[in-house]
Each structure stands twice: as C-alpha cells, then as structure tokens.
Amino acid sequence: MAETDQATTFTEHLKELRKRLIISLAAVAVGFAVCYGFSEHLYSVLTRPLILALPEGNEFLAFTGVVEPFFVYLKVGFLGGAVLASPVVLYEIWAFIAPGLYENEKRWFFVLVMASLILFVAGVLFAYLVVFPFAFKYLLSYARADLKPILSMNSYFSLVTRLLLAFGVVYQLPLGMLVAARIGVVSARQMLSWWRYAIVGVFCVAALLTPTPDIFNQLLMAGPLLVLYLVGLAVAHVFGKKKEADEVVEGIGESGDEGP
C-alpha cells in the first residue's frame, strides 16, 4: 500500500513538473514573439558601446553570410524573450518547490533568489556601462589607416553575451560566501584568513574575463570583485556568527560533560 502511495505521489510530482515546464516554455515563446519584432532595436542597444568606440567612418558592423543577420536577430529575440519571461519562469519554479519547504526555508529561498537577481543585474550593468566602453576603445586602438576593423554581427553577439553572463555569474560571489557560511562549509573567519589567496584569485578571474590584456581594464573588473569579497565577508560574519557561536557553546558543553 505504501509503495502504491509513493508511486502515486511521484506521478503527481511529474505531472506538476510537466505543467510548470509547459507554462514556462509558453511564456518564453510569447516573450520571443514580442521581442523578435524589436530585435533590431535590441541589437543596436547591445552594439552601442562598440559603435561609440569605433573609429570615425567605421561606425558599422558587417555580416559574412547571407543568413547571418536573420539568425543573429533570432538569437536576440530569444534572449530578450527569456529575460521578458523570467518572472513567470521564476514563479513556476517557486510554485513547484514551495510546497515542500518549511516557512523559514521559504523566506530564505525568496531572499536568496531576489539577492541573486539583483547581483546578476548589477554585474550585467557594470559590464555594459563601465567595462565595455573602455575595453572596446582599447581593442580598437590598434586600427590604423591601413588596418580597418571589419566586425561580424554574430561574433560580436557571441562575445557580448558570454561576457555579460560571466559578469552576472561572478557578481554572485557574496551570495555564494553567505550560503557557504550559513550551511557551515566555511566560516567568515576562515574566509578572512584566506585573503591573500582571494586577492590572487580575484585578479586571475579579472584577467580571464576582461577581453583586454592591459592592467587598467583588469582593475575595472578586479576592484568591484574585491569590494564584493569584502561585502561577502561582512554578510557571512553577520549571518554565520550565530552558527559559529552555537558550535562554541556545544563544544564547551561537551568538554564539561566528560568530567575530570
């Protein structure tokens, strides 16, 4: 009887998952249909940092294949549709997992998701508004009278989307440190003791993500990452402190129970 109930519950979960997936895919499809009509405008927004950095007389992008613009605008429409549908997708994820969470877990999950979104958007905006203008200006400084830049639509779109995603993910650093401290993987004090390795790691990440080799653009990436590391330490200390204190109290209690 118990096995039958478990099988029924599992089947119900699968049906619920399928329903949530269908709604999410439908939302992305609707978002794509809306954004595809504005794909040229959206692509022009993506290319604005590059166009402003191009030498005078070269303010354009080229395409190397007949179908390249068509597929690039499809990708832009899908990307915009995914962003437009993200609130629906997030709600469907929440509706699927929320029944299995306790009240305190629901609060933490909501806070973590909102914080993750804010950090991701902050990383994307920082890359677009701060890093791209300086990076593209440096990269295009190699252009000369006998060396003209001919830039492909597809290659630029691939580069920009990868960089925006990378910056958004890297900006999750404080959240990752908070979760690690909260579940007891590592304490804020331990993370602080690793500050030398953290600085080296930050500059390594900055060197990998920044599309230019010059130290100025790498500092543009490394500086905010160091600030995020300090923010992560502060957050981990505040929210991990209670757990650390409880462990100390438990250790004292255990040592007192052992007797002489």
The answer to whether the beta carbons of residues 90 and 36 sit under 8 Å apart is no
pLDDT digits over 159-200, tens only?
A: 899 889 988 988 888 888 888 888 777 888 888 888 888 888
What is the per-residue pLDDT for 247? 46
Q: Across all residues in the chain, what is the average pLDDT?
A: 81
Mean pLDDT, rounded, for 227-256: 64
- Given its phi and psi angles, is residue 57 left (phi above 0), alpha (psi -120 to 50 degrees) or beta? left
Specify the higher pLDDT residue, 56 or 66. Answer: 66
pLDDT at 3 exceeding the cut of 80? no
φ, ψ of residue 183 in degrees (nearest 5): -90, 0
Q: Which of 47-61, 170-184, 218-232 has the lowest mean pLDDT?
A: 47-61
10 Cβ neighbours under 8 A, 6+ residues apart:
none
Whole-angstrom CA distances from 20 to 8, 23, 107, 147 are 18, 5, 21, 53
At position 70, the amino acid (one-letter code) is F
What is the per-residue pLDDT for 241? 55
What is the per-residue pLDDT for 6? 58
Angle 43-116-212 (CA atoms, 0-180°, nearest 5)? 50
In a 3-state reduction of DSSP, which class is residue 147? Answer: strand
Q: In angstroms, rounded to a whole number, what is the distance separating the alpha carbons of residues 188 and 241?
A: 8
